[in-house]
Structure 1
Amino acid sequence: MPLFIKFYLKLSSVFTGLLVFFALNALADSPNIVIIICDDLNDTIEGIGGHPQAYTPNINRLINSGVRFTNAASNAPICGPSRASLWSGIHPINSGMYGMDQQSNRWDNNVVLKNKKTLFETFIDQGYYSYATGKIHHNGHESSYSTIMRNTDGSSGFGTKGNFGPYPNTNSPVFQGVDPPWWNQDYKDTVSPPYSGFGYYQDLGSNHKWTLQSGGSNNPSFSTWNYDDNGTPNDFSDDTRDLVSDEISAQQAVNFINGYNKNKPFLLTVGFVRPHSPYYAPKEFFDLVPALSDIQLAPINANDYNDITGPVNNSDKDLAQTSGWWKYTQYKNMGTEAYGDAERALKEFTQAYLACVAFVDAQVGKIMDSIEASTDPNIRNNTLIIFTSDHGYHLGEKLYIFKQSPWEESVRVPLIISGPGIASNKACTKPVSLVDIYPTCMDYAGLTAPHTLDGHSMRAFLSDPENGQWGGASYSVSGIGSSASVARNQVAAYSDQHFSIRTEQYRFIRYRNGEVELYDHNNDPNEWTNLASSPAHAEALSTMQTYYRIAVGLEEPPPDSPAISFVKPASDEIFYLKETIELEVQGNASTSLSGITFYLGDALIKSDSSAPFTAKVYDAAEGSYTVSAVGEQSSGDPLSADVSFTIGLQGTSENLISNPGFENSTVGAISNESELAPFSYMGPADRSISASTAYSGNQSLYISNRTQNYSGIKYLLGDLTVGTSYQISCKIQLSQTNTVARFTRKNIASGT
């Protein structure tokens, strides 16, 4: 992003010594936002605490550069309702979408949601450019995309729908294909339907072919997906094939990033279908996970239901979709019939799931690579990345393989957020949920909510994952659709559903018949011991029951305890030497502040008596610092918060400019590269003196190829006369309109 800078001095100001700070940021006012959402991805990610054999190096890169939420929840752990809630910002309690008949109960016909603006519409309406590709809402629920995804310039804003295929099929295709031809006959005789097949893509010979399908079971249409082993069936190095859905989505996302040239920030949304069934992936990703003999199964307790009395079990099956127990049983029976080993097919399934996770991780890496390698610093340095899944997935826990249960593996989702001003490689254990993504995006983009959002911005946790204070509750709430019938597109009654509520320590499950479960995750991460009848946990149970009553509107919530936290800077953030550091503190909804006083160590920075409560740190030496904020409530009671950061990566030399400037090629002026050396503290960039662009003189300072945000140019004005007015001005020419320039001054005598 090349630019030219020139300073000149006219009459105005009354200081004996003045520092002029011209801070040019590579960051625009509003960041680009990239949301990546997977389908059926549980905590099988390195660094999240799920399956120990997960291979996810690219998602790990996000973890290392951002905040991972280890206690994030889907608000309705099944595809359609979860995505409807996420993209509308409306909780299932208020929309009534829990999962019954999810194919026919469409989000855009729902009596509540049809009147709410999606995240995409809101961003487009308020100045963003939006592009989405892959599985965004539930498959088959995209008919309104021609309207809600359309940008103000008329472009459609949507790429290609997600597709679960290809499926192995006969030359006369059937819906969802046939059993994989490479399965032994005992497998084929035991299991049906083939929708949950597993294995790697391979040449199927002359009697079978891979097919993609569209449409439902009543009117499917098929197309051939090409795979050719080129005559070497056991050598995959020379095989040729078509791309699959997620590869197409990743490619479209990369093309969008590489070609983006509009003068506005963008919202990019990418929906990957894996690791949703069927569990097929390229052979190379099976090679990245352990061999079958080394595969570890999920923690499975054969007696898991002995202390569960609720109706969600293999007998009552009080769920909107009940295939989880059947699927687990089928895989066990396959292994028993074919090999005399009940774990054999379970291990094959687990291996295939891990391979699908590794595959989707590679697609995430393509998007990250394109952002990091972008020649546009506003993409490279000013893009917020949100990675998540629509819900979790059981891999055999609770003797169940599916989603849509009230337990941890179904409800919990991965959630990682990375970007400018966000703490790096930090974990947040606070309960949050997918409904909080909409308001978080609105907060970072500086947009206005189009309707009341049921979630809350997670920004406070992104700057301070441990101590941040937000407007949300101390628990998450997930609605689990029961088998109760629902009128088409109407609000299903909460009293007909089950609920799963999670705090940092406990999970509480409340079934629609009043039965309850309580699990202590500090001591029982597998949720094997139901403590609902434990006298020692009566108080915890009572508290969780209160949370349920509050969530469904039977009881008013008590006010939160007053608290304050830093919005800026992020915890352990690193700044360039001489960079201006902005501080901002906010209180939660229960806090009434009369003022905030900021301290750097023991030194007073500023007292601010009006919101937003802000201050700045100038010219701090290289080192590590802690900034504290002391607030006083209207009641007189004190509150405090602190945050640590580091200054100094670019050297410690004096970096103030004391020559007349760069606009004239006169004696003493900057005229060559060696004289530009003091600008090294500004961060990586190419700097030169240009005679091709000038304003009042005959040359300018030319800056290009910036790779990071930097603090800017500082100009010391000495020998000023008390009582005389000075006007300090600067003029810049920017090659992009979304760059932000800030011009501030500091009295070095008073420090203000």
Structure 2
Amino acid sequence: MSQVEANRPNVIVFFTDQQRWDTTGIHGNPLGLTPNFDRMAQKGTHVHNFFTCQPVCGPARSCLQTGMYATQSGCFKNGIPLPENSKTLAHYFRENGFYTGYIGKWHLAEQDPVPESGRGGYENWLASNILEYSSDAYDTVMYNNENEAVKLPGYRVDAMTDAAIRFIDHNQQDPFFLFISYLEPHSQNHLDSYVAPDGYEEHYIGKWMPPDLASLGGSAAEHLPGYYGMVKKLDEALGRLIDSLKSLNLLDNTIILFTSDHGNHFKTRNKAYKRSCHDSSIRVPAALQGPGFNSGGRITELVSLIDIPPTLLDAAGIEVPEHMQGRSILPLSRKTSDTWPKEVFVQISEDKVARAIRTDRWKYSVVAPGKNGWEVPGSDSYEEEFLYDLQADPYELKNLIGMEWCQEITKELRDRLITRMVQAGEDAPVIVPAPVRKGPVDRRIDIKELRNNAVKWTYGN
């Protein structure tokens, strides 16, 4: 069936790694790093409040491929391969006449090269399980369908974008689903360095720094210029991809999603760059353009990575499986939905076993004492760890957990977190309240405001 006969849009996922939301101009970054993303967000649908559901590479990818939380897919930490019986986005697109391709970082297998049985159903394969180990910034090596090592010329972002454009050019006649998974702006692990293209990092030395990094330090002074340079190159790649679609007369019939797996707090919240409840870890940029999303404007509802699989299937005219735990945002883009969850739910693993919810105003997080997040996916008991008032403290510099004047709001958030955990397939835990601390009431809080925003809903319906 030809593209015209099928009358279905192509779908491309442009997926970056460890990119903070505030790297983008549309979120207030003053450095001009993302003109193509900003234009895409203005032309299409900008998901203003978008969050990962698991701030770790492999687990986030399992959520995006399966539509299930990491505790349900089984991939609750890095290094756990996606079960071979898992149905991924590739399977659903293939079953509905789309040719599927995957380029870049997979992080859901046991080895490199990834055997066909571990590729999640993708047909055209040019990828590495852990791309930072098979390649370097100017030494791009990935593996093809025959598991042959393929060295691509150019800076890694350019090399992968060239491969994506070739895939698009070779598959113009039939609908396709292409997933491009970049490593950037993740660090190059063996160097613990953010390697931008030659000449890029120098432009951002001593330039604007987000308030949390300016206050807390971490590794930002050392790493932010290179990180910004990588973001700039990724945005140029997005522009090249869009230009290639336009030149092939495919742009109007192609859905493009731009987003990332998690953010980057630059060692300000723990010894790593992620694995925390803070927006610097969990909030990422997201925008879509193409059929169903053009002129969608700004979505201000809180949307999770878990909502992306049903969104992509819905937009492509494919029935959304009942087991998927998110919901399509297409009604939000079309302004036909009047109810939406008033918080996003986050599972955190590896450095700790933790759970969190984020509302438009509040961040509430609990941790399982004595539990090793590298060994167990969850716990039956947690203790309160963080509470932030994002209205007064958007960069989460003042932890309010245990404050006497916050007890009523904390109780409400505790109950809502337990509800979300159960809806995600976890058992209802015991959450031990934090010791009460006295202190001055320095802002107004209204429990009625929080309760009025708690719409009754169920994920998957």
Using the size of structure 1 for normalisation, the TM-score is 0.49
In structure 1, runs of 5+ residues without a counterpart are 1-24, 109-113, 169-200, 202-209, 216-222, 226-240, 305-324, 332-345, 485-496, 564-587, 591-752
Distance in 2 of aligned mates of 1:167 and 1:124: 29
Distance in 1 of aligned mates of 2:87 and 2:75: 16
Verify: 1:277 aligned to 2:255, yes or no. no
**Match of residue 290 from structure 2:** 419
Distance in 2 of aligned mates of 1:167 and 1:137: 14
Distance 1:368 1:530, change over 3 A: same
Verify: 1:407 aligned to 2:278, yes or no. yes
Give the partner amino acid of 1:502: R
**Match of residue 81 from structure 2:** 106
* Secondary structure, aligned partner of 1:281: coil
1:214 Cα deviation after fit: 8.3
1:300 Cα deviation after fit: 4.3
- After TM superposition, the structure 1 = structure 2 runs for residues 105-504 of structure 1, keeping only pairs within 5 Å, are 105-108=80-83, 114-138=84-108, 143-145=114-116, 156-161=123-128, 163-164=131-132, 242-262=153-173, 264-278=174-188, 279-286=194-201, 289-290=203-204, 292=205, 294-300=206-212, 328=218, 331=219, 346-375=220-249, 379-395=250-266, 397-398=268-269, 402-424=273-295, 426-450=297-321, 452-464=323-335, 468-469=337-338, 473-483=341-351, 497-504=353-360
Distance in 2 of aligned mates of 1:367 and 1:137: 24
1:508 Cα deviation after fit: 0.9
1:407 Cα deviation after fit: 1.2
Farther-moved stretch of structure 1 (420-429 vs 498-507):
420-429
Give the partner amino acid of 2:114: S
**Equivalent pair of 2:104/2:127 in contact (CA under 8 Å):** yes
1:122 Cα deviation after fit: 1.3
Distance in 2 of aligned mates of 1:54 and 1:355: 11
1:503 Cα deviation after fit: 1.2
Give the partner amino acid of 1:76: Q
**Equivalent pair of 2:307/2:326 in contact (CA under 8 Å):** yes
Give the partner amino acid of 1:374: L
Distance in 2 of aligned mates of 1:373 and 1:444: 23
**Equivalent pair of 2:24/2:285 in contact (CA under 8 Å):** no
**Equivalent pair of 1:63/1:425 in contact (CA under 8 Å):** no
Give the partner amino acid of 2:417: Y
1:450 Cα deviation after fit: 4.7
1:561 Cα deviation after fit: 5.5
Distance in 1 of aligned mates of 2:230 and 2:213: 25
**Match of residue 743 from structure 1:** none
**Match of residue 528 from structure 1:** 397
* Secondary structure, aligned partner of 1:430: strand
Distance in 1 of aligned mates of 2:135 and 2:319: 44
Give the partner amino acid of 1:480: I
Q: Deviations over 1:648-698 (max 9, x none)?
A: xxxxxxxxxxxxxxxxxxxxxxxxxxxxxxxxxxxxxxxxxxxxxxxxxxx
Distance in 2 of aligned mates of 1:458 and 1:364: 22
Q: 2:51 pairs with 73, 80, 87, which one?
A: 73
1:36 Cα deviation after fit: 0.8
Distance 1:28 1:213, change over 3 A: closer
In structure 2, runs of 5+ residues without a counterpart are 144-148, 189-193, 370-382, 430-451
1:26 Cα deviation after fit: 8.0
Q: 1:505 pairs with 357, 361, 368, which one?
A: 361
Give the partner amino acid of 2:226: A
**Equivalent pair of 1:42/1:391 in contact (CA under 8 Å):** yes
Distance 1:97 1:40, change over 3 A: same
Higher relative contact order (CA 8 A, sep 6+): 1
* Secondary structure, aligned partner of 1:283: coil
1:78 Cα deviation after fit: 0.8
Q: Deviations over 1:698-729 (max 9, x none)?
A: xxxxxxxxxxxxxxxxxxxxxxxxxxxxxxxx
**Equivalent pair of 2:9/2:253 in contact (CA under 8 Å):** yes
Q: Deviations over 1:315-344 (max 9, x none)?
A: xxxxxxxxxx9xx4xx5xxxxxxxxxxxxx
More helix by share: 2
Distance in 2 of aligned mates of 1:542 and 1:29: 51
When Rg is computed on C-alpha atoms for both structures, the one with the higher figure is 1
Give the partner amino acid of 1:461: L
- After TM superposition, the structure 1 = structure 2 runs for residues 570-589 of structure 1, keeping only pairs within 5 Å, are none
**Equivalent pair of 1:121/1:148 in contact (CA under 8 Å):** no
Using the size of structure 2 for normalisation, the TM-score is 0.77
Give the partner amino acid of 1:255: R
Q: Deviations over 1:591-638 (max 9, x none)?
A: xxxxxxxxxxxxxxxxxxxxxxxxxxxxxxxxxxxxxxxxxxxxxxxx
Distance in 2 of aligned mates of 1:547 and 1:136: 33
* Secondary structure, aligned partner of 2:68: coil
- After TM superposition, the structure 1 = structure 2 runs for residues 20-31 of structure 1, keeping only pairs within 5 Å, are 29-31=7-9
1:422 Cα deviation after fit: 2.1
**Match of residue 438 from structure 2:** none
